[in-house]
Each structure stands twice: as C-alpha cells, then as structure tokens.
Structure 1
Amino acid sequence: MADTTLSAPKSHLVAFAYEAWGHVRPLIVLCARIAKAGPVLTTVLTPLSLYERTKTELARNFAPGEQAYLSRVRIVAVQRGQHNDVMIIPASFVSAWRDLVDGKAITCAHTGQPIPAILPPKAALIDCFAYESVRQIRDVSGDSAKIYGWIPSALSTLFYYMFGPESLGGGVSMHDKAEAEARRTGRAYEDVAGELLMRGRGEVVRVPGLPPMYDYEYHPQHFPIFDGLNTSYLARTYDTMLLFDGAVVATPECYEREAVAAARTFFADIHKPVYVLGPLQASGAQAAQLERAHAPQAQEVEAFLDKTLKESGERSLLYISFGSIFWPMKAPEQLWAFLDAAMELGIPFLLSHASPFAVIPDSVREKVHEYGKALVAPWVPQQLVLNHPVTGWFVTHGGHNSVLEALSAGVPQIFWPFEADQPLNAVRLTEHFSAAYELLEVRTGLGLKPLCRNGKAPAGTLDAVRAEARDVLVRAFGEEGKGKRANALQLRDAVRAEWEEPVGEGEGGASWRDFRAFVATLWAEE
C-alpha cells in the first residue's frame, strides 16, 4: 500500500543500470514502486541515450493525481564516457556519487540543469557487472551506504557466468583464475579470460532446475559484441558480488524456484540478503497510453494488430523481436528464410528491429510488402503487442525482460537465443514448463556442436533452417501449440500472483514480501 502521508524523504537511494533497455526498464519500475511505498528519494542515473525513454517509462507507473509520488524519483542523464561500447558502465556514475555524498548538486547531461543532493545517499542499487564502479564508490563511502547488486537477468545465469561451474555454491573468481593462468603462461589476460568464459571444451554444467548442458550451449550464437564484454565485465562478476551488501533480482520465484533456493543459500553463507522481485512491469493507469510514446510507429502497429485480428482471428499473429541489442548479424539469411516459411504458411507477422545492428535488405522489405499480411517496424510497444488478442506466438531472443513480459501476458514463445541468460530461458520454458519451442538450426559457431540433452547437433544449413521453421510453426499454430499455450497461461497466473498483496491472514506473494523487506532497509535506523 502506498504511503499516503507523503512525508519528507528519510533516505536517498541512487540507482544505475548499464546501457541496455532490458536492464534499465525493470529498474525504473522498481524505483516507481519504492516511491509509492515509503519516504525514499531515488536518483536514477541513466545513460544519456536512454533519458527520454526512461522518463516516459517512469511516468507509465503513476496514475493522474500521483505527481507527489512521482516527484520522489529523479531521472538524471550521465555521459557515456570515452568508450563506444553500447553497454559501457560510465565512469561518470562514480563522479555523480561522489558529488552527492559531498552534498553537491549534479548536472543532468540532457537538460543541463543542476540536481540538488538534498540528502546524502544511504544506498546504491547498481548493475551487477560494474566492478570498478562498485569498488570506487565503496572507497568513497566505506560502510556508510549499502550497495546492492542489480540483477535484471535470470538467476540461473549466476551459477555459470558469476560463480563458475566448479560448484553451485560458488567460491570461484574468473578474474583470479585468469590472472594466475596469464602469469603462469605469459599469455595476455584478455585471451585467458575469454577462453575461461567462452568455454567450448564440452564440460557438463549443472544448474538447479535445468537439465545438464554442455558449456558451449551457453553460447548458441556468435554475437561479436560479447567478445570484449567477457573480459571487461563477466570475468569480475563474482568479485563484484562479494563487494555488494546484498542483491536485488528481477525474476519471479515461481519461474526459477530451484535457482532462487540455491541463490538464497549462497548469499546466506556470505551473510548477505537477496531480494527476489520479479516481474517488474509498468502497471499504472497510464501504462498503455505512454508505452505508445516509445514507438514512432505505434499508431500504425496498433492499426495493423486490429486489422489482423479482424481478418485472421484471435491468436493468429506471430510477433518477432530480438530486443534492443541482439540481431542474427552473423547469418541474417536465416531470418529471411524463417520469414519465407511464415509467408508460405500464410501466417501474419510483426517484425521489430530495434537493434543498432539490424539491417533489412530492400528485397526483403519488398517481399514482405507484397505479402500484405505483415509489418516491419524499428520499435514497437511490446506490452501492447503481447497483450493484444491477435498475438499467438512470440519469436524472441529470450532476454529476461522479454520473457517475463510474455509470461505475464500468457503468450507462448519460440526461442532464437544468442547469449547470457537467453539459452537458459529457452531450455527452462521448453524442457521444464513445456510452454515454448526452441529453434536449434539457427545456431552458429559453438552452437553447432551436439546438445547434451539429446546428443543431436544442428546441421547448420539454410535448408535445415527452413525445414525446422516450417515444422515449428505448423506445430505452434496447431493442436500441439494449444497445449503449450495452456501451460503458458498456467505459468502466467503463477507469475502474476507473486505481487499479490496480503488479504486477511494471507502473506501476500513472494515478490511483494521481498519488496517490503527491501524497502524497509532503505530507511531503517542504523
């Protein structure tokens, strides 16, 4: 229940996620809920490139008349710095933190306006990959401020990328291992760290709640941007966890029950709390209206959805999106082959291409236009699309934000995973919940090796992609697909229940309870 007294802020939280919408969006939703829950001032430092979108996303969580709550959250743009990497953690975060601690105003890089400190920060919520930033703000503040790790991905990813495969309990620093091996062999640290993280030796990795997988199955697509990220971020994630005072995770407990239990055990062993708060999605009275503001073609998209519903019926549309970063850039011809299969079957589809790496040839655009039952758009209001009665299936890269939005809407998914938590989401929903399909023939690089669960290796040819696409689409829109949709709807109900507030003697949902516990730490007396 919201704090109706609107008392003066008693605490100050500073939040930051790196330059990926799947990391920023749920963080903004969390900050909005904190504003309604108690007297906490929140300063969100956002990359300059996401400032306008972040402001709109924040407003989606508030109804008319809730401006006082909204005023508790300040969005401040920071510069990216000298790097061109789209996922860089800006050094300007540390500079802003230092100024706020010293009681100085910080300047928004978008508006040029000074933002007063008001209160010294009592807590930080910062992306789990930001080792250097966490270390530096720890040097600035010592133990006077709590620093929480923001984990917007599937918790299952922790046991591979963050803790290593040696044991589920952790105790493994990839950075330390890479440094030791580099000293022993005289090789470059970056090369050694890359090999440790991009394992391809066929070692079996066992993660709670998932079937055994070979290490290379965590990299089903070669996506070049991850080559540098592995050494700059992932190798130090375990070390970053040890610096945090606790972790906040944007996942529903019912979705990853075994992984949540294992994570709670790990954090308890190192005497740190973990708060499991998923899903985090805008739910204010203005949520639908303002989501359209993200997409220049929103009106065209909605008209297309309505037209398709009238002409083809409910659950007839195939929605295709690889999120804001990922795209099959190593083998885009596979996507064109998949679209051909959809058009041959007469399936209407909506293709979103928000990635900066997306290039769609004129020949493909012309073919889609001539087909007459499809729309291609650079950015679409995804929650609107997923909750529209025409949407039947969602072809997705499997990023956690997209997966949870689909689960909350009860839309079954067809996975085309690339990296990070994406292959784990694909396996969980296909094997554990039987609420999805996974495309295997679209794999490239290490992904062409045999799968642990069935011993089969993708053929890696365009003919195989076409055949699999046709087979999966026929099954998805047929009787088998109805069963998977029923499982997806059952999971939807469980996911939604995580945020239920207590009624009578009930305890409320697991996410609601963890949220209340986390908020209480933000203004608790020392």
Structure 2
Amino acid sequence: MSSIQLEKANKAKHFLFVPHGIWGHLRPAINLIPNLLIRSTEALVTILVPVAHHHLASQEFEKHNLHDHNRVKVVYYETKEDGDEKRHAKTNLQGMMVFYNDIVKMLSENYEKILKSEPIHDAYLDKEVSTHLISPNVVSVEVQTTPYKIPMCEEISKKLGKEVKMALWSSVSGNYTAWAVCDLYEGRTYRDRVEKIFQVPEADRTKAYNEQLGENENVVHVPDNAPIYVFEAQPNQPDNFLNIVLGCLPVLPRVTMIHSWPSFLGQGYKKGAADLGIKVLQMGPQLPKSSIHETELVEGALKEFLDKALNETGENSVIYISFGTLLYSANLQQLSILLDVLITLDKRFILALGLASEEIQLMAKKKIDESDGKGIWLNWAPQYPILKHKATGWFLSHGGANSTMEAMRTGTPLLFWPADVDQVWIANQFSRIYKAGYEFLQVPNGPSIGRITYTGVKVHGTEQAIRDEFTDVFGKLDDDFGKELREGIRVLGDRMDNDPFTEEDWKAFVEL
C-alpha cells in the first residue's frame, strides 16, 4: 500500500452491506449507498447482491452513477431462479427462502476474506475480484439472518482482532418491529406470546398459536399505532416469522437496528427500544428524488391509458392497484368483486397482476379486457411513474414500507389491503392516526371473520359485505372523505422530505 493509499485508508470508514436478495429489501439498500456517500465523503462501501438481480441492480447503480464508482464495490453471489437473471422484481415465498439460504452461505464463505481484504468470487463475472484495502468498520446484515450471521461475524471478527460495529438492515417499518420487540402501552408483548407458543409440545402449537395470536381478542397498543385486538395483526395468513423474531431478541442489544423508514413516524418505537437497551436508527426513505428518468412513462398502452384518462376523467381519477412483489393479498372472489365494483362505478384503474395465481390472472384479464377501456392490466408495473402521472389519484396497496414511501413522495392517498408483517401496522398508523389512507376491513380471511375490530366494525367477510364496503369507499373518493386523505398524505410527504429526526439518525449511522 502506497503512502497516499495509507493516508486515505486511515481516514476512510468501510461499510459492508449484506441485504436480503428479495427486491423489496435489496433496492432500498442500494439506494442507501448514494445517501451515505453524500453524508460521508470518506466512506467506502461493499454490497453483496444476488446474481439473479444483476439486471435490476445494475439499473439502480447506474441511476446514481455507482456502477464504476471507486468507493463502491459490488460483488454478485450465486442466486438464480430458473437459471436466469430476473427482469422483474417478483419473488414468491419459496424464492425468498432461496435468497435467504444463499445470503447465509455467501457470508459464511466470504466474511473472513473481506475482513482480510482478500479477493472473493463474483458469480456474475465468474472470477475473483478485489475488495477494499481496509477491512469493514461497520457490517450491516439482513435482519432475518440475525440468529445465524451475527454470532458468526462476531466470532470471526474477534478471532482476527478486528473491531467491527454490527448493524441489522431492515426495509420494513419500525411499526412491526415495535410490536415484535417493545413493551406495549397496553397488553402483553408479542415476545411473551411467542415464547408461550414454543413452550408447548409441537403437537399443541397450532392451538397455542390461536390462543396467543391467531384468535386472541386481547387489546394491544403498540408504540406509534392505534390500539387493535391481537387477531387483527394477521388478517390474511398465519405469522411466518415467529422463529426468526424469537431468535433475534437475544442479539438485539449487541447491534444497531437500521430501518429504511422515516424517523418521525417511529419515535415511539425508538424510545421503547432504547428503554430495552436496543439502538434504533430510522433513515428512510431510501428512494431517489424525482427526476425525468424516474417518472417518465415510455410510449405504449399504459401511457396511452393514463393520458386518455387524464383527458376524459381528469386529474387524480385513476386507481392504481398493486399488492407488491412478494405476497398477493386478494383471493379470487375478493378481486373479482373489486373489479366488478370499479367497472360498475365507471372508475378508471390499473391492475398489476404481480404474483397473482394463474386462476386469478385469467379472471382479471377477462373482466378488464371486457371493461370497455375502464381498466388495464399489467404483468409488471413501473410503479413510481404511474404514481407520478397526473391522472393517478389513488393507490390500492398491500401497504408495504417501500410502496408507502413512494405514495408519500408522490402525494398519492392509500387504500390499504394488508397481508402480513408491517403492512397491518402501517395501515393502522396511516388510516387511524394520520388520516392519510383507508384500510379495508371486510377483506381479512381466517379468524378475523365474525369478529369485531377495535374500531367497532364487524368483519363479515361475505361477498355482500365486501361489495358494500368497496362501493361505499370508491363512491366517495371525490368527496370530503377523499380530500381529507389526500391532504393527510401530502402532509406526511412534506414531513418525510424535511425530517430532522431522520437526519439525526443518519449522523449517528455515519458515526458508528
């Protein structure tokens, strides 16, 4: 190492990012890098990316001129679906586990090499590539891998005599983690309930799960959220993350939690975590600022549909429907009712098919193709340009963190149809505290049906109840009801882009 290189190395701080390979976790991790480089002019970055997402990741890196940046090392590791690079962001739960297992394998095989500044194998280039000349000072590991990766990294760092700060990367909102981690304003904690589930023999787990979570009618008041009954936390499927959360809890006081979520929305969570000795930083949104590149729609059927709607039905008239890249909230009957109501009310709408089953796709395509131009379906949708178009006025969403932040940035009110994890809590916070969206209450499945929510609404779950709710909500979007939601999301968007709490957390991250 030359004297100039040595001088630079002494000033630099090396950040290693190991996010989950699914796009909803990976994309915000990539977008964190330019934000970090702006705030820390001496920062060095290494990020590990699955080769399956090389195409999409490369596009993100190029947006920020990071593809050949001398302070950024991108290393691709082996994860492919059907042997090909992914052209769209969709990944099912089985694919999620492939990504998960490959993260664990990649880090296990290469963490010590990265600490030693030794070359590691790049699966896209199929050759050894160099790493930064100094070892990582901060390592940010995907939160789901916490029980396995944090102890391993700690052990290797200690063996090599390296002082490394460990962080957990999470693209989900702080709301869900507050439920999983913090003491509550009211009600027994999630961790207490999960521990009780795993204390019983495996044959009795289903019963214990329903008693503690699935069918439980106790009230819980999670920081930053309005009170709900426990059964409302999993509206459409059982909790998939019991084991992971329970495995994370003992490790959390030894690391820093990093969320791609606006800090002003999670101050209760941050305080509650601090009371338990857990450091939390919320540094969102990890979204690029608006630009022509980000918002321009290419010529074609989608642009023609939106431009025509703008001319015929005016601004804010189109409803964009997307349930994200991992789960699909609606079942066949529910989505069929939704489309019938929109067509009957003469609403203009865009449906992203995403991960819908083949049966749902066939039904949706037929109804939309016969709707006389009221709707358009897409296998994959360029979400941000759609939301930025003047014709788009509403976002019917699962309520994932990334989609919610895009809605805030574009000022698009949300109509929530949550499925899992943080989506329920985001829907709760935005609809009941900030009046920036509406949560559909007749669409939950399973144990919610027949029960009364904390808001006093009974979940009937029948075709008629679902139809009536859709008809009521879509029928008043242009009235005071809709105006209140539009103003609510506008206020949140302004606060998100001018958030002193987020900047404080950024400063703390840079100084780790």
Matched, 1:474 2:475: yes
Corresponding residue number in structure 2 for 1:501? none
CA distance in 1, matches of 2:358, 2:251: 32
How far off its partner does 1:177 sit? 5.3
1:133 to 140, 144, 149: 149
CA contact under 8 A between 2:24 and 2:171: conserved in structure 1? yes
Corresponding residue number in structure 2 for 1:237? 248
How far off its partner does 1:85 sit? 4.5
| 1:180-219 → structure 2 map (5 Å cutoff) | 181-182=199-200, 186-187=201-202, 198-219=213-234
CA distance in 2, matches of 1:192, 1:468: 32
Corresponding residue number in structure 2 for 1:47? 50
Corresponding residue number in structure 1 for 2:84? none
CA distance in 2, matches of 1:110, 1:430: 44
How far off its partner does 1:207 sit? 1.0
Matched, 1:95 2:112: no
AA matched with 1:275:
L
CA contact under 8 A between 1:35 and 1:73: conserved in structure 2? no
Corresponding residue number in structure 2 for 1:502? none
2:174 to 144, 155, 180: 155
CA distance in 2, matches of 1:197, 1:298: 52
Q: Which moved more, 1:114-123 or 1:428-437?
A: 114-123
Q: 1:473 to 1:34 in 2, by over 3 A?
A: same
Figure out how many residues of one structure are paired with residues of the other and give that number: 483
Gaps of 5+ in 2: 1-6, 82-92
CA contact under 8 A between 1:396 and 1:415: conserved in structure 2? yes
1:204-231 CA distance string (max 9 Å, x none) = 21112322211111101126xx54x433
How far off its partner does 1:520 sit? 2.8
CA distance in 2, matches of 1:198, 1:56: 41
AA matched with 1:187:
E
Q: 1:482 to 1:172 in 2, by over 3 A?
A: closer
CA distance in 2, matches of 1:443, 1:151: 26
CA contact under 8 A between 2:172 and 2:261: conserved in structure 1? yes
Corresponding residue number in structure 2 for 1:29? 31
Corresponding residue number in structure 2 for 1:16? 18
How far off its partner does 1:302 sit? 3.1
CA distance in 2, matches of 1:18, 1:357: 24
Gaps of 5+ in 1: 1-5, 499-508, 522-526
1:454-512 CA distance string (max 9 Å, x none) = 333211112221111111101223332112211221221111112xxxxxxxxxx3222
How far off its partner does 1:443 sit? 0.8
How far off its partner does 1:13 sit? 1.5
Corresponding residue number in structure 2 for 1:496? 497
Q: 1:455 to 1:373 in 2, by over 3 A?
A: closer
Corresponding residue number in structure 2 for 1:504? none
Q: 1:149 to 1:170 in 2, by over 3 A?
A: farther
| 1:234-383 → structure 2 map (5 Å cutoff) | 234-244=245-255, 246-263=256-273, 265-266=274-275, 269-270=276-277, 273-283=279-289, 287-288=293-294, 299-328=300-329, 331-355=331-355, 357=357, 359-371=359-371, 372-383=373-384
CA distance in 1, matches of 2:193, 2:348: 46
Q: Counterpart of 2:321 in 1: which secondary structure?
A: strand
CA distance in 2, matches of 1:453, 1:60: 44
How far off its partner does 1:332 sit? 2.1
CA distance in 2, matches of 1:80, 1:189: 36
Corresponding residue number in structure 1 for 2:77? 78
How far off its partner does 1:287 sit? 4.8
Q: Counterpart of 1:468 in 2: which secondary structure?
A: helix
AA matched with 1:422:
Q
Corresponding residue number in structure 1 for 2:88? none
CA distance in 1, matches of 2:493, 2:260: 16
Q: Counterpart of 1:354 in 2: which secondary structure?
A: coil
Identity of aligned residues (%): 24
How far off its partner does 1:258 sit? 2.8
CA distance in 1, matches of 2:61, 2:360: 32
AA matched with 2:242:
N
Q: 1:84 to 1:467 in 2, by over 3 A?
A: closer
- Superposed CA RMSD in Å reads 3.1
1:245-291 CA distance string (max 9 Å, x none) = x121222133334333333x33xx52x542221212012757517x9
AA matched with 2:35:
R
1:153-192 CA distance string (max 9 Å, x none) = 221212322357698998957776555x14xxx4369769
Matched, 1:513 2:504: yes
CA contact under 8 A between 1:43 and 1:74: conserved in structure 2? yes
CA distance in 1, matches of 2:110, 2:136: 11
Q: Which moved more, 1:430-439 or 1:152-161?
A: 152-161
Matched, 1:122 2:137: yes
Q: 1:356 to 1:107 in 2, by over 3 A?
A: farther
1:322-344 CA distance string (max 9 Å, x none) = 01011136x22201210111111
How far off its partner does 1:11 sit? 2.6
Instruction: Give me the TM-score of the superposition, normalised by structure 1.
Output: 0.83
